[in-house]
Amino acid sequence: MSIHDIELFLRERPGYLKKSALVLADRLDAPESDCIIALRNVKAELTNTNENSHRVDSDFADYLKQHHIKPETIQSVKFWQTSKGDIRYSIVAKDSPKNNIDELKKEIADFAASRSVDVPSVYTSAAIPKGDKVLYEISLPDLHYGKLTDVSTEELEELYVRVIQSLVVKAAGLNIDRFLLPIGNDGLNSEGLRQTTTKGTPQQDSLGWKQSFRGYWKLLVYAIDYLKNIAPVDVIVVSGNHDYERMYYVGDVISGWYRNNSNVTVDNSDDPRKYYQYGETMLMFTHGDKEKAHDIPLIMATEQPEMFARTSHREAHCGHFHKEQVNEYRGIKVRFIPSICPNDAWHRQMGYSAKRVGQAYIWNKRTGLDGYLQSNV
């Protein structure tokens, strides 16, 4: 099913405009990315139609007068709006001569321009210059899926996908060997039915526990499917203080989903901290709410002494604080990664705010961290 077909379905059944792209994709068995575009296009059409109805009436009358067309001779009319906001018409009249070919071409070009969508360049291996292979870590902690905010669930899903795609497009000059995708880290806002954090702090959720669980793992599958078509994906499941239990369940779903896919690995082990080695680089992943930051280097050396000995570049990546913080202890960086999650009412009341950004880190097998790329929200 094409984007055009999805748009026709939405115009005939406008009730689905209130649904998420995930629901629409399931209903039509269509790619979710196409559903996101179709929803945006049809909603924009409705908005433009309401805003421009009076303008179209007056402009249409002027157009008929300018081209000496009598209203009673008109058989059919089509009109559209260009990307610059100009109104264009296509009129068939009873006594109209054959359309001039140049005018017809112009009408087609204007219509195509009005319907065009800006799409990032396709990321292909042919576009990658030769150079050292790198591990590309896309880390988006603390999404808090299901939290009650001013941003709807559909908008949060679209934001998550858009940030990942943006970070991939920005990496088009890299020779990506593998993707590293940590998931969780308070990916879900609560433990579900009881609507609290793992320790029992009450939370305000916008979704039921079943809807948030299913919606979140489907969102992750969409992101992983997008990445695995570019390079193999290593998924690391990190439990947070909001979703310590449910993130383990999500990890099992993702692990089972890709059990027969050689391009995806999933680490959903019982360990409270996860470790990953790429060449001479050692990475530790933890939510960061339990350990003291200055103790983390010793924890790394104690829990993984052999990996510690094999590597010369070491970092720990944490979430929890929703903002970027980097400290270095004995040559080992402890990095708290920012979040793209919007604030809820409680955080606004307390005056908490942080720059919402998504970050991706570039790891070289020999030289360690080569830098990072960022997508601002």
Contacts 24+ apart (CB under 8 A), 242-245: 242/144, 242/186, 242/188, 242/189, 242/190, 242/191, 242/197, 242/198, 242/203, 243/184, 243/186, 243/187, 243/188, 243/189, 243/190, 243/191, 243/198, 244/191, 244/198, 245/191, 245/198
Coil, strand or helix at 326: strand
Higher-confidence position of 127 and 356: 356
User: Are 109 and 231 found together in one domain?
Assistant: no
Of 81, 115, 149, the domain-final residue = 115
Give the pLDDT confidence of 336-365 residue by residue, as tens digits. Answer: 999 999 887 666 766 667 789 999 999 999
Of 56, 87, 115, the domain-final residue = 115
The answer on pLDDT for 262 being more than 90 is: yes
Q: Is residue 122 in a domain? A: no
User: Are 85 and 195 found together in one domain?
Assistant: no
Of 93, 115, 137, the domain-final residue = 115
Question: Would you say how long the chain is, in residues?
Answer: 377
User: Are 282 and 255 found together in one domain?
Assistant: yes
User: Are 110 and 136 found together in one domain?
Assistant: no
User: Are 279 and 148 found together in one domain?
Assistant: yes
pLDDT score of 126: 47
The answer on pLDDT for 15 being more than 90 is: no
Domain containing residue 166: CATH number: 3.60.21.10
Tell me, yes or no, if the pTM score tops 0.85: no
Q: Is residue 120 in a domain? A: no
User: Are 181 and 300 found together in one domain?
Assistant: yes
User: Are 68 and 191 found together in one domain?
Assistant: no
User: Are 58 and 160 found together in one domain?
Assistant: no
Q: Is residue 121 in a domain? A: no
325-329 β-sheet, strand order: 274-278, 281-285, 313-318, 332-336, 325-329
Give the pLDDT confidence of 197-210 residue by residue, as tens digits. Answer: 999 999 999 999 99
Looking at the structure of the chain, the number of domains it has is: 2
Higher-confidence position of 296 and 30: 296
pLDDT band at 117 (very low <50, low <70, confident <90, very high): very low
User: Are 90 and 147 found together in one domain?
Assistant: no
The b-or-e profile of 201-232 (16+ CB within 10 A means b, else e) is eebebbbebeebbebbbbbbbbbbbbbbebbe
Determine the angle formed by the axes of helices 209-228 and 153-170, rounding to 10 degrees. 20
The answer on pLDDT for 129 being more than 60 is: no
User: Are 54 and 134 found together in one domain?
Assistant: no
User: Are 144 and 280 found together in one domain?
Assistant: yes
User: Are 156 and 69 found together in one domain?
Assistant: no
Q: Which residues pair with 114 in a beta bridge?
A: none
Give the pLDDT confidence of 38-90 residue by residue, as tens digits. Answer: 888 888 777 665 555 555 566 667 777 776 777 767 766 666 666 556 666 66
**Residue 94 sits in which domain range?**
3-115
Give the pLDDT confidence of 161-200 residue by residue, as tens digits. Answer: 999 999 999 999 999 999 999 999 999 999 988 899 999 9
Residues 163 and 340: beta-carbon distance below 8 Å = yes
